[in-house]
Amino acid sequence: MTTSFETVDVLREHNQRLKAAYEKDRLRKRLFVILLVPVVGALVGSAVAFGSADISFWDTYGVVFRRVFQGDGVDALGNAGIIVWRLRLPRVILGLVAGVALGSSGAVMQVVLRNPLADPYMLGISSAASFGASLAIVMGVGVLGGSYLVIGNAFLFSLLSAGLILMLSSRNGTSPEKMLLTGLALLFFFQAMTTITQYFGDSDAVRAAVFWAVGDLGRANWTTVAISAGVVAVGTGLLVWKSGDLNVMNTGDESAQSMGINVSRTRVFTMVVCTVMVACIVSFTGTIGFVGLVAPHLVRMIVGPDNRILVPASGLIGAVLLVLADTVARTVVSPVILPVGAVTAFLGVPLFVYLIMRRKGGLA
């Protein structure tokens, strides 16, 4: 388009400046994610040292050190050993894993369902899990001792709900609106079923079922940590892998298809990954709300909507929020441990509202 040599030079200089500005911006965003990793590490590390039992910092890390590096058995480590190794550490790590799962899948759900209000429970996962658990706990479909039956029930019912939604909404072409509305419908359906189940149950069982539904990390042990960590590692990896495609889907279905994305396949694939991941977490922890909604928005306010950054960063911020909230839940009215599902909202809501108020214009 240019004819004279001066204009070519000017253009080249502009180009260099443009590229430099873009690279700088990209570096800043990457740095944010990279710096989050040690923050999460430090947080998890220090969260272990807090709790209602009076164990000093040194004793806490002594236990971890002796268990990990010297291979001492837990029983040889005494009371502190049991508390730190059997109770606190799995609890904190499950918090980390659940935070990553909720944060990253929340980010993905919002883009895939084209709705800034979407969260990981949008496909009726939490209410279906609650119903499954209530069925096991209240109707006594084998509750005693078999804590895995409750978990299994919760997991199966949440998969059932999500599967039903994907199946129903894919008739005559999937659309995000259809998915959202079927999801909402099933949510009410399962809530009603839970209410009816609990209506006929005896009060202790109902109490147990209600407590089950409120998110809590207290049921963590090394087996649940290992299972969920495996599932979440694979799941988050898959979501990050698809995050470039999600960027394009952010501009609309037609636009994304014209950029070469198989939109419906990507939508179903990412939903299935999110569902399996979140169903797994929900069955171990119950419904921990808010993290999956807030973490992605917090990250977007800081580094913008690029999903290649957003998905991993939301996972890490989700972990920060959840581990922090759980530490508060364990210590604030110690020795009573509050359910973390309630505390996340207590801590997160003021922060979130403040950030929304401060921001000019829309959220999106």
User: Which residues of this protein are in contact with another protein, per CB under 8 A?
Assistant: 1, 11, 14-15, 18-19, 21-23, 25, 110-111, 114-116, 244, 247-248, 250-252, 254-255, 257-263, 300, 304-306, 361, 364
Is 277:232 a contact under the CB 8 Å cutoff?
yes
CB of 307 to another protein, least distance (A): 9
Mark out the alpha helices in 170-259 (DSSP H runs).
Answer: 176-199, 203-213, 222-249, 253-258
Q: Measured from the CB atom, is 54 or 254 closer to another protein?
A: 254
Phi and psi at residue 97, in whole multiples of 5°?
-65, -45
Provide the sign of the torsion angle of the four alpha carbons 71, 77, 79, 81, taken in this order. Answer: negative
Return the number of the residue (52 or 258) whose C-beta is nearest another protein.
Answer: 258
**What is the 3-state composition of the chain as percent helix, strand, coil, each rounded to the nearest 5?**
75, 0, 20
Closest to another protein by CB, 19 or 207: 19
Nearest to another protein of 79, 251 (CB atom): 251
Rounded least distance, CB 19 to another protein, Å: 5
Minimum CB–partner distance for residue 86 and another protein (Å): 42
Q: Which is nearer to another protein, 38 or 252 (CB)?
A: 252
* Strands in 30-128 per DSSP E: none
Residue type, 338: L
User: Least separation, in Å, of the C-beta of 249 and another protein?
Assistant: 9
Q: CB nearer to another protein: give 159 or 240.
A: 240
Distances in Å between the Cα of 116 and the Cα atoms of 95, 111, 180, 247 are 24, 8, 12, 14
Least separation in angstroms between CB 259 and another protein: 5
Structure tokens at 57: 């910092």
Unique residue bearing structure tokens 């550490």: 89
DSSP lists the bridge partners of residue 287 as 214
**CA–CA dist 6, 107 (Å, integer):** 47
Provide the minimum distance between the beta carbon of 274 and another protein in the complex, in angstroms, as a whole number.
17
